[in-house]
Structure 1
Amino acid sequence: MAARHRTRRATGGAALAPALSAVLAGCSGDESPADTARKAESAVGSIASEASEAVGSATAEAGQRLDAIRGGTDVKDDVRTGPLVTGSDGRARTEVTVRNTDDASRSFAVQVDFRDAGGRLVDTVIVTVDHVQTGHSATATARGTRDLPGEVRAEVARALRY
């Protein structure tokens, strides 16, 4: 079965706190890990602005959402990013490959940070990869949310298998 995947973007702005508060308030304790991951994607994807301070805030919120995935296992070592390319839209993108080393089919939530040449965080996205069979790998595309100036690199900030 082919793995499904989605990319959600995180940048921040003046609407950061109210937008995330609304999403976070709507989360119940009865969610499945997949529901929690999707809400993390939604929370991160609902924020849109260019302010670098807000990128850090969005990253913190994304981290909180990933922390809310119950039963998630840290698998950062099982995730790789490919070469960074710039699309015709001017946005950086990289392929994210997850490897399922568990003994059952699992899904993944991966936070990818884009950093400039000085190491400053300039963008963040969360990618999910659903239903990766045991012993298999699957890919998703992490795509930046805006044009990023100069040299940029992508790194896996966090990765959870659930």
Structure 2
Amino acid sequence: MNRPRARVLVTVTTLLALSSTACTEEDRARVGDAVSSATAAAASRMGEITDGVNATADVKAGPVRAEGGRTVADVTVTNPQDRNADYTIMVNFRNDGGDLLDSVVLNIGGVAPSTSKTGTARSNRSLSGATKAEIGQALRH
């Protein structure tokens, strides 16, 4: 390869690398903003529950699946109390590395004593890659 072509090839390769890095950083910033916004909204909704007690032990998240362009997980509540209860649950979607991808709040109401009831947590946006759902917070009220 002669020198002028080598310089052009290196310059084009460098520009392509820089442009893809800039795009990746921009995408990362956009995703970070979306996650921050979703987390703040979920925390705000959880904060609206004034008479709730910690019920994380009553709630289990099932495996995730794709549905309608979103990531969803079935969430099952088992009410150990002797009266009907409503549950407000924050579900966190995380990747294999444990990074938070999204947070949503799910309400499951009218759970009879000593019974279980299931609802579906649906991500706010499309998530890619291996994802798992976990219970971030659960309030019985």
TM-score, normalized by length of structure 2? 0.72
Residue 81 (structure 1) aligned to one of 55, 61, 75: 61
Tell me the CA shift for residue 99 of structure 1. 0.9
2:81 and 2:36 mapped to 1: Cα distance? Answer: 32
Matched, 1:155 2:128: no
Name the counterpart of 1:127. 106
Supply the distance in 2 between the matched residues of 1:56 and 1:98 (Cα, whole angstroms).
Answer: 27
What is the aligned partner in structure 1 of residue 33 from structure 2?
53
Q: CA deviation at 1:110?
A: 0.5
Larger radius of gyration: 2
Residue 97 of structure 2 is matched in structure 1 by 118
Contact 1:56 1:121 in 2 (8 A): no
Q: Does 1:93 align with 2:79?
A: no
Judging changes above 3 Å, is the alpha-carbon distance between structure 1 residues 134 and 126 closer, same or farther for their aligned structure 2 residues? Answer: same
Contact 1:114/1:153 (8 A) holds in 2: yes
Pair 1:140–1:51, CA change in 2 (3 A)? same
Q: Percent identity?
A: 38
| Paired residues, number | 112
TM-score for both structures, normalised by structure 1: 0.64
Q: Report what 1:35 is aligned to.
A: none
How big is each residue's C-alpha offset from its partner over 1:20-72, in whole Å with a ceiling of 9 and x where there is no partner?
xxxxxxxxxxxxxxxxxxxxxxxxxxxxxx63234224313422331331210
Any stretches of 5+ residues in structure 1 without a counterpart?
A: 1-49
Residue 104 (structure 1) shift: 0.9
Q: What root-mean-square deviation, in Å, do the aligned CA atoms of Structure 1 and Structure 2 show? A: 1.5
Q: Secondary structure at the match of 1:135?
A: coil
Identify the residue that residue 23 of structure 2 maps to in structure 1: none
Is residue 86–residue 92 contact of structure 1 (8 Å, CA) maintained in 2? yes
Structure holding more helix per residue: 2
Which of 43, 47, 51 is residue 71 of structure 1 equivalent to?
51
Q: Is the 8 A contact 2:89 2:137 kept in 1?
A: yes
CA apart distance, 1:156: 0.5
